[in-house]
């Protein structure tokens, strides 16, 4: 009988611990914070996130497991956690100005964002289905609340409800998958499951196992918004407060991807030849549907929603191509994807002033004249999303397609490539609005929030840096997948 808390475990899980402490601190300080002056809570939470990030990075190294082998802090987890924390920091930067603009004066917003991040970090580190499930739910529940945070906004309520119902359904599905695995192997640890299955011998064609696999694929597919489990995405993206949308797009989907990778690669690698086919199809569907439907959108948040669906499609290519190249490609692309998507949403917030919500593509009309810098930043994000060099998006795509080609999935690559051409079409609609139409006489108001500008700058710089000098990031991604199996 080990004792409840031993310092070793705690120090291994230090980042999570710190983050949760910060979150609770925020919640408490919220009570004493004078009304109308709650920005500093935001800055404080950013500090907390950065602190966590530093601690995290200093933990880099050999995998350490803790809490009787349910929690593992290996490079794979660390990589994703870095992505989450960076996203969280950027999102917090965005939200400070946004909340002012929306007249929301609540410190809980920051707290909940931190809780969601915490959940994601748990997911990334989980090597036991139980932790995984709880992390998932922590993230989801926080985001349910965040999505409904603008209580006066009917669309916000609707988004929250839809997300909640679908989320509940999907977690039930995931649970059923988990229970099947448990029933087959009597274990909930991923490694144990794998060994249990191999011990079981000829179980690979076992219908219960197949059922479990499908259920898990469906449940995770919901979290990462893969077609056909993607349908809530546009509505929720549109309805939720923009920073929350960013959180969904840049963090929660990636977290889903993290557990997807971990479970399928560690727990049921034996079924690889089965689920490769599955994700091949899913990836095709996802990127095609995403890109095609995005063309018809006039609301930029919906458009970005579909574009994020499409990007999930690209990300799945990596999973199909498999270890090690494909997986590391996926990791690299998550980083790029997070940065550029966050940037795009930050732009939406930048334009969200007064009545103009910056959500219609027309709201971008003439931005280039109003503020060349902002337009340039948006241009960078869009080009990166479209995969035009020299941007992060290009490097990521190159790496992904490369992995696919190397494994001989030429057709997948070709279709992906065609898709990225299609995607250019709707991204350029925004560019046209920004550059090629004249500023409306009414002018164009921009949010004055400084932290938001910082976020924009960071995102743009990151996108460019990865695009121009991707070497270190590639190595990072490669190192991260090394210890995965």
Partner 1 sequence: MKLVVLVPLLPLLGVLINGLFGSKIRGRAHLIAVSASGLSCLVAFLVFVRAVGGEGLDWDLYSWLEVGDFQAPIGLLVDPLSAVMMLVVTFVGFLIHVYSIGYMHDDRGYARFFTYLNLFMFSMLVLVLANNYLLMFLGWEGVGLCSYLLIGFWYEKQSAADAGKKAFVVNRIGDAGFLLGLFLIWSTFGSLKYADVFKAVDPALGTGIYTAITLLLFVGAMGKSAQLPLYVWLPDAMEGPTPVSALIHAATMVTAGVYMVARSHPLYNLAPFSLDLVAWVGALTAVFSATIALVQNDIKRVVAYSTISQLGYMFLGAGAGAYASAIFHLGTHAFFKALLFLGAGSVIHSLHGEQDIRRMGGLWKAMPITAWTFLLASLANAGIFPLAGFWSKDEILFNAFERGLTVPWLLGLVGAFLTAFYMFRLFFQVFTGPFRGDAHVGHHLHESPPNMAYPLVVLGLFSVIAGLAFGFPPDQGLYHRFVAPVFETAHETAIEMAHATISSQVGMAALSLAIALLGIGLAYQFYIRRPELPSALAERMKGVYLLLLNKYWVDELYQAIFVDFGKNVCRFLWGVDSRVVDGAVNGSSWLTVRLSLLSAWNDLKIVDGLVNAVADVIQGGSLRLRRLQTGIVQNYILAMALGILGMVVIYLFIFP
Partner 2 sequence: MVPLSHYLILSAALFAIGMFGALTRRNAIGILMALELMFNAVNLDFVAFSRYLPQTMLQGQIFAIFVITVAAAEAAVGLAIILGLYRNFKTVNVDEINLMKW
Partner 3 sequence: MTVTQAVFYILAAFTLGAAFLVVLATNIVHSAIALVFTFFGVAALYILLDAEFLAAVQVLLYVGGITILLLFAIMLTSRISARGVKILNEQAGISALVVFAIFALMAYANLRGIVPAGSPPPASYATASLGRLLLTTYVLPFEAVSILLLAAMVGAIILARRDREKD
Residues that bind partner 2 (CB under 8 A): 129-130, 133-134, 137, 141, 144-145, 148, 151-152, 154-155, 157-161, 164-165, 168-169, 171-172, 175-176, 178-179, 182-183, 186-188, 234-235, 238-239, 296
How far apart, in Å, are the Cα atoms of 44 and each of 22, 47, 113, 305?
9, 5, 13, 30
Q: What is the per-residue burial (b if ≥16 Cβ within 10 Å, else e) of 105-141?
A: eebbbbbbbbbbbbbbbbbbbbbbbebbbebbbbbbb
Cα 381 to Cα 269, 290, 304, 394, 417, distances in angstroms:
36, 18, 11, 11, 19
Q: Which does 228 bind (CB under 5 to 8 A by kind): partner 1, partner 3, partner 2, none?
A: partner 1
- What's the CA gap between 463 and 336, in Å, rounded? 7
Q: Least distance from C-beta 173 to partner 1, angstroms?
A: 7
Cα–Cα distance, 312 to 286 (Å, whole number): 7
- Closer by beta carbon to partner 1, 67 or else 222: 222
Contact positions with partner 1 (CB under 8 A) in 63-92: none
Among the listed residues 8, 47, 57, 165, the single contact to partner 1 using CB under 8 A: 165
Q: Of 210, 356, 428, 474, which one interacts with partner 1 (CB under 8 A)?
A: 210
- Out of partner 1, partner 2, partner 3, none, what residue 188 binds, judged by CB under 5 to 8 A for its kind, is partner 2
End-to-end Cα distance, the chain: 29
Q: Is 215 in the site for partner 1 (CB under 8 A)?
A: yes
Is 253 a binding residue for partner 1 by CB under 8 A? The answer is: no
Which of partner 3, partner 1, partner 2, none binds 27 (CB below 5-8 Å, type-dependent)?
partner 3
Q: How far apart are CA 256 and CA 259, in angstroms?
A: 5
Which tokens sit at 264? Answer: 């399928």
226 or 244: whose CB is closer to partner 1? 226
Mapped onto helix, strand or coil, the DSSP state of residue 202 is: coil
Q: Among residue numbers 411 through 450, which ones bind partner 1 (CB under 8 A)?
A: 422
Question: Residue 5 touches which of partner 3, partner 2, partner 1, none (CB < 5 to 8 A by kind)?
Answer: partner 3
The reply on whether position 222 binds partner 1 by CB under 8 A is yes
Residue 304 binds to partner 1 (criterion: CB under 8 A): no
Q: Which does 229 bind (CB under 5 to 8 A by kind): partner 3, partner 2, partner 1, none?
A: partner 1
Residues forming the site for partner 1 (CB under 8 A) = 161-162, 165-166, 169-170, 173, 205, 207, 210-211, 213-215, 217-218, 221-222, 228-229, 231-232, 234-235, 274, 277-278, 289, 292-297, 422
């Amino acid at each position: 009988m080990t004792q409840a808390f031993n310092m070793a475990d705690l120090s291994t899980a230090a980042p999570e611990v710190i983050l949760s402490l910060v979150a609770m601190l925020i919640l408490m300080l919220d009570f004493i914070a004078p009304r109308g002056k709650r920005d500093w809570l935001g800055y404080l939470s950013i500090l907390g996130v950065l602190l966590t990030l530093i601690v995290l990075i200093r933990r880099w190294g050999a995998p350490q497991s803790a809490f009787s082998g349910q929690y593992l802090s290996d490079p794979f987890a660390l990589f994703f956690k870095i992505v989450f924390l960076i996203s969280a920091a950027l999102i917090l930067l965005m939200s400070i100005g946004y909340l002012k603009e929306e007249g929301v004066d609540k410190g809980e917003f920051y707290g909940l964002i931190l809780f969601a991040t915490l959940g994601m970090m748990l997911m990334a580190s989980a090597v036991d289905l139980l932790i995984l499930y709880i992390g998932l739910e922590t993230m989801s529940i926080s985001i349910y609340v965040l999505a409904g945070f603008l209580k006066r906004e009917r669309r916000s309520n609707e988004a929250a409800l839809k997300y909640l119902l679908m989320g509940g359904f999907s977690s039930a599905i995931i649970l059923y998958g988990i229970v099947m695995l448990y029933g087959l192997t009597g274990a909930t640890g991923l490694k144990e499951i794998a060994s249990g299955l191999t011990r079981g011998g000829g179980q690979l064609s076992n219908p219960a196992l197949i059922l479990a696999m499908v259920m898990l694929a469906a449940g995770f597919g919901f979290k990462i918004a893969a077609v056909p489990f993607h349908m809530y995405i546009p509505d929720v993206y549109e309805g939720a407060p923009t920073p929350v949308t960013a959180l969904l797009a840049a963090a929660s989907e990636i977290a889903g991807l993290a557990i997807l990778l971990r479970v399928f690669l560690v727990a049921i690698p034996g079924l690889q030849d089965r689920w490769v086919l599955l994700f091949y199809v899913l990836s095709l569907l996802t990127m095609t549907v995403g890109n095609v439907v995005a063309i018809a959108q006039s609301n930029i948040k919906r458009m970005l929603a579909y574009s994020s669906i499409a990007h999930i499609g690209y990300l799945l290519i990596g999973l199909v191509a498999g270890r090690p190249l494909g997986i590391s490609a996926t990791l690299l692309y998550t980083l790029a994807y997070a940065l550029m998507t966050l940037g795009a949403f930050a732009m939406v917030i930048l334009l969200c002033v007064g009545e103009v919500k910056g959500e219609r593509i027309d709201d971008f009309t003439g931005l280039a004249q109003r503020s060349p810098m902002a337009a340039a930043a948006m241009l960078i994000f869009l080009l990166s999303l479209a995969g035009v060099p020299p941007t992060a998006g290009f490097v990521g795509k190159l790496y992904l397609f490369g992995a696919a080609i190397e494994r001989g999935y030429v057709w997948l690559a070709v279709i992906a490539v065609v898709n990225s051409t299609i995607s250019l079409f709707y991204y350029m609609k925004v560019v046209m609005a920004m550059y090629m139409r004249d500023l409306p006489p009414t002018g164009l108001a921009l949010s004055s929030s400084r932290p938001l500008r910082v976020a924009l700058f960071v995102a743009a710089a990151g996108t460019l840096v990865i695009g121009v000098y991707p070497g270190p990031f590639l190595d990072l991604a490669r190192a991260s997948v090394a210890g995965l199996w």
